[in-house]
Structure 1
């Protein structure tokens, strides 16, 4: 099991702010962006000063796509789905320090447990 301590970004304002202007993010910590409903998402690194790994998660808690080492201050759009993904909607996005996804072994196909996932459909429901 992998554990990451997260800050929650679940309003339009907190999602827009994200991790902008932070000068550090400790290993094993991150920010979990939660949307009201599953939807196609994309991120960028505007005003983000540290490299990040972005882990895109569907409504069942399945990790569907991992974008590693997003470059600080890069405004290039980072899609939440790999090319050809037939179900590109995401309910959550987890941002962790760059390199943490590999260090922790986070990869597509893994299941995230979190109480904000619809528990009746979650691949790994909370106890």
Structure 2
């Protein structure tokens, strides 16, 4: 019985540690250079479950040429929400070859679900309006090391 309580106490401590780290913006993720035509993107890469869960939460700003690339193990319909995210963002749901499947504008601090129109492994979040200002729409291709083709 004591080992069960110890296990629960360890789990509670781990959860508390995660919640504490989740209250801060993650700024030190690996980066990858991407491009959308002539436009360069400096993307932080969120590849682990914890990195993807925190994403861009708690960020107060993000430079215009930066974004966050979420990388998943398998293609599936990806759905994102904006709870604890302070910035208005646009999510680009991206196929393995870099083709943008669909773009969705997302309002800060909401729990509305925004989903890909088909299974994808990549989601690129940029400041809201970045894609529109560059004339980048669904069907456009992103380039860079993560994308095949």
Is residue 2:79 matched to residue 1:42? Answer: yes
Q: Distance in 1 between matches of 2:95 and 2:126?
A: 17
Shift of 1:114: 2.0
Which blocks of at least 5 consecutive residues in structure 2 are unaligned?
1-37
Q: 2:126 aligned with 1:96, yes or no?
A: yes
**1:19 paired to 2:56:** yes
Structure showing greater Rg:
2
Partner secondary structure for residue 143 of structure 2: coil
Runs of 4+ in 1 over 3 A off after TM superposition: none
Unaligned runs of 5+ in 1: 82-87, 123-127
Within 5 Å, give how 1:32-111 maps onto structure 2. Answer: 32-68=69-105, 70-81=106-117, 88-111=118-141
What is the match of residue 16 of structure 2? none
SS in 2 for 1:50: coil
Q: Tell me the distance in 2 between the aligned counterparts of 1:71 and 1:109.
A: 23
Residue by residue over 1:60-114, the C-alpha shift from the partner in whole angstroms, topping out at 9 and shown as x without a partner, is 211010012x111010111111xxxxxx111110000111111122211111112
Q: CA RMSD in A?
A: 1.0
TM-score, normalization by structure 1? 0.84
Matched pairs, number: 112
Distance 2:57 2:90 in 1: 14
